[in-house]
Amino acid sequence: MVKRFARIAIIAAVYVALTVLLAPISFYAFQVRIAEALTVLPFLFPEAIWGLFIGCFIANFFGGLGLVDVTVGSLLTLLAAVLTHLTAKTGKPYLAPLPPLFINAFGVSAYLVVLLEPPSLPFHLPPYLLFVISIFIGEAIATYGLGLPLLYFLKRKEWN
């Protein structure tokens, strides 16, 4: 039980630290939130769900987007973490990044389109779709580019 609470606290602290220290790339329309690499952890550790939720909740206070980002963003992270944990039943780690990837791309974009100017891309698309594309790319870098290798590394170790 102590291990689980410690893991929750460590995941939350690392999520906050990475997000705040890398704030210029952690918030707004174009973002690669490096802390999102941790969103694969519920595949191995159910308690990571709470660490991610708490970490995102605290980190989003530093983003300057207000209570919508703090509450809705954190709840979307909670949903993604629960779904990531459910992907463990498949035994296929490469599926673990999918929930945070799609939930953030479509969910976070739904409120960013109201709060921010859309990202400018060299082609014309509706603002919501521009946000979806930009968040999807950043989330893919974090979850598949960083998170999936982390997951495979941790899977090879014995972590109880």
31-64 per-position pLDDT tens digit:
999 999 999 999 999 999 999 999 999 999 999 9
Q: Tokens at residue 89, please?
A: 């039943």
pLDDT value, residue 159: 60
As a whole number of Å, the CA-based R_g of the chain is 15
Domain ranges for the chain, please list them.
Answer: 2-156
pLDDT value, residue 117: 82
Q: Tokens at residue 56, please?
A: 């995102």
- What's the average model confidence in pLDDT over 115-119? 83
Best CATH choice for the domain 2-156 from the list 1.10.1760, 1.10.357, 1.20.1050, 1.10.3470: 1.10.1760
Task: Compute CA distances 147 → 15, 93, 123, 124, whole Å.
Answer: 13, 10, 30, 31
72, 31 in Cβ contact below 8 A? no
pLDDT value, residue 118: 78
Q: How confident is the model at residue 119 (pLDDT cuts 50, 70, 90)?
A: confident
13 against 119, higher pLDDT: 13
Cβ neighbours, 10 Å, residue 104: 25
Q: Which letter does DSSP use for residue 60 in this model?
A: G
- Computed from CA positions of residues 51, 112, 65, 139, in that sequence, does the dihedral angle turn out positive or negative? positive
pLDDT value, residue 160: 52
Q: How confident is the model at residue 30 (pLDDT cuts 50, 70, 90)?
A: confident
62-82 per-position pLDDT tens digit:
999 999 999 999 999 999 999
What percentage of the chain exceeds 90 in pLDDT?
Answer: 86
